[in-house]
Amino acid sequence: MHPLISASELRDQLAETHLLDARWALGRTDGHERYVAGHIPGAVFVDVERDLTRHGQPHEGRHPLPDDAALAAAARRWGVSRGAPVVVYDDDRMLPASRAWWALRRAGLDVRVLDGGWQAWLAVGGEVETGRRTPQEGDVTLGAPGDAGVIDTRSAATWPDAGVLLDARAAERYRGETEPIDPVAGHIPGAKNLPIACVLTDDGRFRPASDIAAAFDGVGATAGTPIAAYCGSGITAAQLALAGTIAGREVLVFPGSWSAWSNTPGRPVATGAE
């Protein structure tokens, strides 16, 4: 199943689709307010900070994955039922929706991301619903993936020895010229920079699969090569994993990302171009 669904396809399948609204943006706390003001009919709000992450120690990064049981309980609280098609969307360039897609997919759920998000839905004249929606408890059963599909700080240190470690942050953060959030500027030694903007269009959609594949190939992340990705705190890395899926690349994710690496004493830091 292709990981993306178009707004026109969703409109035709709306009645049988379970929708998750994952509006979130770094530094903002009004995702739920934006959802209440207008969302796709039937959508249930997903709290990225509460449901798709957990509170951890500094060395775990800003957005560690939730416990497997906690994620499964959240999916049932969202009303997700067995066998129901699930689509997730947001209003921020499909970034938080990609985190939801990745977290749920690795737990065994078939889920797709609305290509273009909320803006694409409005562009096709989709109906808008307002207010809060409290769904009936779902009966979905998620798997317990544990460490499947992820790497930790120790693995990130050695990953470039046998594969390609991708840094999805903007080039100036990768080079260490600026660091607006974390305590140290720079990148993990041996990592290759593939800014997420390289796989997105100007209006925040994914580029064609062939263009994404070319971007991956350009930094050595070719088909068959072991690939892992990190970013600032694990959200954008999940979006790069979704891009990889579109292009036929399997991409593991370092959930702690630079926020974990830079808060772990003794970890080396590289700066400048690769």
Q: What is the 3-state secondary structure (H, E, C) of 168-201?
A: CCCHHHHCCCCCCCCCCCCECCCCEECCHHHHEC
Residue identified by tokens 């994710």 is 253
R_g of the chain computed on alpha carbons: 18
Q: Reply yes or no on whether 198 is catalytic.
A: no
Name 114's bridge partners.
5
Selected catalytic residue, list 157, 191, 231, 242: 231
Let me know: does 73 contact 98? Beta carbons within 8 Å: no
Integer angstrom CA distances of residue 121 from 127, 161, 163: 8, 43, 38
Question: Measured between alpha carbons, how far is 74 from 61 in angstroms, rounded to an integer?
Answer: 21
Let me know: does 179 contact 259? Beta carbons within 8 Å: no
Let me know: does 42 contact 244? Beta carbons within 8 Å: no
- Amino acid identity, position 162: A
Which positions are catalytic? 231
